[in-house]
Structure 1
Amino acid sequence: MTAVEFKNVDIVFGDNQQEAIPMVDAGKTREEILEKTGCVLGVAGGSIKIEEGEICVLMGLSGSGKSTLLRAVNGLNKVTRGEVLVRDGDNLVDVASCDEKTLRHMRMERVSMVFQQFALLPWRTVSENVGLGLELKGMPKAEREAIVEEKLKMVSLDQWKDKYAHELSGGMQQRVGLARAFATDADILLMDEPFSALDPLIRDHLQDELLELQRNLKKTIVFVSHDLDEALKIGSHIAIMEGGRIVQYGEPEEIVLNPANEYVAEFVAHMNPLNVLRCASLMTSVSDLRKDGDRLILDKYDAFKVTVDGKGAVQKVTFEEKEELPVITFEGDQPIDSVPDSSIVVTSPDFTMKRAIELRQATGNPVLLAENGVLVGVVGDEEIYKGILRQSSIADAAE
C-alpha cells in the first residue's frame, strides 16, 4: 500500500504567491520567479508515490528542494498547492490541508524525524533524549523506560544510557537520534541528511546499520541526501531534484542505466556500479547463447556447455567436453566462502554485479542465472567487463 504520496505539490515561500503560481505552471526557473515576484520556489509539481516498507531517497544539489519536500510530510513546510497524503491506518490523510488536531496526531503517532545535526537536548541523558517523544505523549514512566531500553539495545547504546550528548561521538549521537525516532513506533521516518555531518567511515557504518534495522523493522523511510553513492546504496527508489522539480524518479539501477537528462547523467557518471547494476542487466540471455546440438555454450572459447531439461532447468554443465562440474544453488544469505571451488553456481538475476564478481572469483567459472528454477542467462568475464566499460564510457562522456 501507498504510505506517502505527493500529488502535484508546489511550495512557494513569500508574500506574492498568487503571481508566482502562474509562473510555476509556465515552467519558469527559480531565478526568474524570484526576480519577478520576490518569492522563492521550493518545490514545483512534485508527484511521487512511496510504498510501505520502502526507502525513498530525495536527492540533488544544495537548494534543489529535497529537504523542502521532505518537511511537507509532517507539515513543517506549508504546501502552497497540491496534496501530501500520509497513511493513517486504512486512510490517507492530506497533511497539507488537515486540521491542527489531525496534524498533531500525525506528528505524534505516524511520522517521526531524524535531523542532520542530531538535535539532542544537552541537559538530558541519552535515555531521557530517546524517551522525549513518549514523555510528551504522556506515557507512564515504567512503560516509557522499557521502550527506551529496547530501542537503545537495538542501536547498541544501552550501556551509554546515563551519559550526556557531549560524552558521545558523532556517530553515537546520531544513533541516539535513530533510537528516539524508533521509540515512537511511527511507521514513517523522515531522515534529513542524517549522516552527512559524519566522517566517511562512520557514515558508511551507519548506512549499514540502518539497512540492517530496516530489514527487521520494515519502516517507510523518506531520506534526504546529496550523495549519490549513499542514495544508490540504501534507496529502494530515488527522486532526483533540480531547481525544485523532480527530474527523475525510479529504482537505482533504472536511473543509472537510463538517466533522464544531462543533469542526472552527470550525477551517475562517476558512481560505483558494483552495488547497483544487477546481473539481469549484465547477463547474456539464454536466447542469445550459441548452441552445440541440444547444449548451450556459456563462453566464447566453447569450454563451458550446459544441458537443460524440458522445463529449462539446469541438468548438467561440462568443461572442455570431459569434466562434469558440480552445480549448486546459491541463496542470498550464504557466505561466499561456502561455495566449492570449480563448481557452477546457479543464482538469482537480481543479485548485484559485485556478488557476480565474488562468485566468479570463488569458483573460477561463469555464473548461471535462473528464475523459478529456469535458466535465463549467464554472467562471465565478458559480461562483467562490459558492465565496467559501460560505466567508464558514461564518465568519459560526462567529462
Structure 2
Amino acid sequence: MATAPEIDAPADPLARFRSEARDWLAAHFPPSLKGKDNAMSAVEGPHTNSPDEEAWQRAIGDKGWGVPTWPGEYGGGGLSRAEARVLQEEMARIGAWNPIGGMGVMMFGPTLLEYGSEAQKKEHIPAIAKGTVRWCQGYSEPGAGSDLASLQCFAEDKGDHYLVNGQKTWTSGGQWADKCFMLVRTDKTKKHEGITFLLCDMDTPGVEVKPIRLISGSSPFCETFFTDVKVPKANRVGEEGQGWTIGKRLLQHERSSLSGGGSTAGRMFAGAPLGQLAKHFVGVDAEGRIADPDLRGRIVRHDMDLRAFLLTLRRAALEAKSNQGPSAATSIMKNVGARIMQERSELLIEIRGLAGLGWEGAGFEEEALKDVRSWLFGKAVSIYGGSSEIQNNVIAKRILGMLDHQ
C-alpha cells in the first residue's frame, strides 16, 4: 500500500523572517556605510548624504523598516515586536543602522497614530516613515519650562484657522525643521484644559527662528517666535482643549527615547570600554588591573549599573504587549539613564586627564575632543525632556501613589 509523502513541518515564522531580513539587508545595505551611523544629525544639523546614504535611506524607507512596527497602510513595516527585534539583531550583525529618525519618529509619529485623524495620518506618517520631512517640538517657553502648563503662546480662533502669537524656546532642530508640533493656549481662563495641540509649517509667514549657542559649541536649540501666524484648523490634532492630554502622551514617547529605549539615545552608551581606556591612560598594576584602585572600583560600579539598566530596558520591551505604549515608568528610565550617561562622560574626562580636556588643536585625539563636547552637552540630559525633579514628581504620584494633600 502506498504511503503518503512526508510533508516538512512549516519552519518557525521568526526563523523565516530572519532569513528574509538577512537576504534583504545583504542586497540593500551598502558595505561602505558599516558603522558610519549619523544618528545625531537630528540635533546637530542636516547632513549631506553620500550616494550610498541616499540609496540606503530610500531603500529602508520604501520597505517601511525605518519604523518597523508602524502600520503598513501608513508606510511603516507592519512588523510584530518580535520581528522588529530580529531585524534589529540582523542589522547589528552586519553593522547596519537605521537612517530614519528624528522627532517625527521618536515622538510625534507614535502620538499622531494614537490621536490623529485618518486624514492627518495619511498626510504626515508616510513622510516620517521615509525620513523626508523633519519635525521640531514647540513646547517650552521662557516662562513655561518645567511648569509647561503655564504656557502663554496664544492661538486665537479665526473661524477656519487660528492666529498664533507668542514664543517658544529650546526648539531642538528648529532652524532645520520643515514642520513643528506645538502646544498653544486657546483658552486663557483655564490652565490645563485651555491648551490645544497644533501642527505648523515652519515656512509659514510670521515664524522666526534664532539658534541658541551652547557651551558645547553647538547650536541644536532655538528660540522660535510666532507673529500673526495662520494655522489651518485642519492642523489641530484632537479637539480644542485636549492638547495637555496629547502633549503628556508625547512626552512619554520622548522620555522612552531619551532613556535609551530609542535608538538615538541608546547610542550615547556606545564607545570603547572604560576599563580599556583606563588601562591605556592610567596604567596597570602588577596584576594587570587599572593602577588606580578608586577609579577601578568606580568603573566597575558604572559598568554594573549600565548593564543592569540596558537589561531592564530590554526586559521592559519584551514584556510590553503590542497594543501598549510607554507608561509612567519611562520617568524612572529617563532619570536613571540620565545619571548613567553623565557618569560615563565624567569618567571619560577623568580617565584621559589633561589629554581629555581639549577643545581644539592637533595635540588632542579626535575622539577626546568629541567626548569633551558630549560631556558639556550631557549636562542638559537631566533637564530636557522634563527635568529630573519633574520625573521624580511623576514617579511619586503615578507609580508610588503619593498624592499631594494640600
> TM-score under structure 2 normalisation?
0.28
Return the index of the structure with the highest Cα Rg.
Answer: 1
> TM-score under structure 1 normalisation?
0.28
